[in-house]
Structures are given as C-alpha cells and as structure tokens.
Amino acid sequence: MTLDEIISNFEYLDDWEDRYRYLIELGRTLEPLAPESHNETNKVRGCASQVWLETQVTKDASGTPVLNLKGDSDAHIVRGLVALVLALYSGKPAPTILSTDALELFESLGLAAHLTPQRSNGVRSMVDRIKSDAREAVEPA
C-alpha cells in the first residue's frame, strides 16, 4: 500500500478506535521477516515493544543509494506503525530519506497527539535507525 493510500484512508476515519484498527490492519500487510532476521543486529533499540528493521541498500541508475526496508514487531499497533514508517521511507533514495520528516506525517495524521510517549519514542527510534542507515549508505565508513 502506498503512503498516499494510507493518508487517504486515514482521512476517512474520524474515530480513533477505527484509526487504531486500521493501523493494526496495516501491520498485517507487512511482508514477513525471515525468522533469522529477528536478530540483535536488526533489533531497534529504544522501543518498548520488540521491533526489527532489516535494511538492504541498492543503487539506482545514477548510483544513488536506495534503502529497501522490511520490518516487524511483536505488538499489533506497533507493527502498524512499522508499516507506516516503511511506507514513508522504503524504496527511497538515501538523500530523500535524510530530508524527510516523519514527525510531519505523524502530525498530519493526528498520530503525534494520540500515541503514548513510549510509542512515540519507539517511532523516533525507528526513524533514527533508518536515517542512520541512510547516512551510512551515503557516507560509508
């Protein structure tokens, strides 16, 4: 599902219970991570729930690094948040990822005001991890 489709669907849902249910449904659409990908390297630190992000870097025709992301969580709503973050960032060039503000999206959807502080910190940890991977892809050590 594209980010535009997700935003459009959110706009139709007035009730927060419906929006949480939609997030859970989004989480169910995630491509499953291989069991071996649920490892310490892919684990995102700073999340109350367990979250794993797997990053594969490819290059586009101009040689710009592109991040292809997969993710998973052991919590239903968090899995939906993972799906939302992946819709925002996966398949995008690293420079675009670095200049894209996830908080702007979460505020526009009303999520910033409706997530618990723990979940907000978890989302921030996911975004920080993805941006760190993008920086590394642009400027390898």
Q: For residue 50, what pLDDT is reported?
A: 94
Q: For residue 6, what pLDDT is reported?
A: 94
pLDDT beyond 90 at 134: yes
Q: For residue 117, what pLDDT is reported?
A: 86
Q: How many Cα atoms are found within 13 Å in the side-chain-facing hemisphere of 66?
A: 10
Average pLDDT, the chain: 93
Question: Is the entire prediction scored with pTM above 0.85?
Answer: yes
Q: For residue 48, what pLDDT is reported?
A: 81
In whole angstroms, give the CA distance from residue 92 to residue 78: 22
Q: What positions carry a catalytic annotation?
A: 47
pLDDT digits (tens, 9 = 90+) for 33-85: 999 999 999 999 987 889 999 999 999 999 999 999 999 999 999 999 999 99
DSSP codes, 12-47: H--SHHHHHHHHHHHHHTSPPPPGGGSSTTTBPTT-
pLDDT beyond 90 at 113: no
Residue-range domains of the chain with CATH: 3-138 (3.90.1010.10)
Q: For residue 141, what pLDDT is reported?
A: 61
Q: How many Cα atoms are found within 13 Å in the side-chain-facing hemisphere of 69?
A: 28
pLDDT digits (tens, 9 = 90+) for 76-112: 999 999 999 999 999 999 999 999 999 899 999 988 8
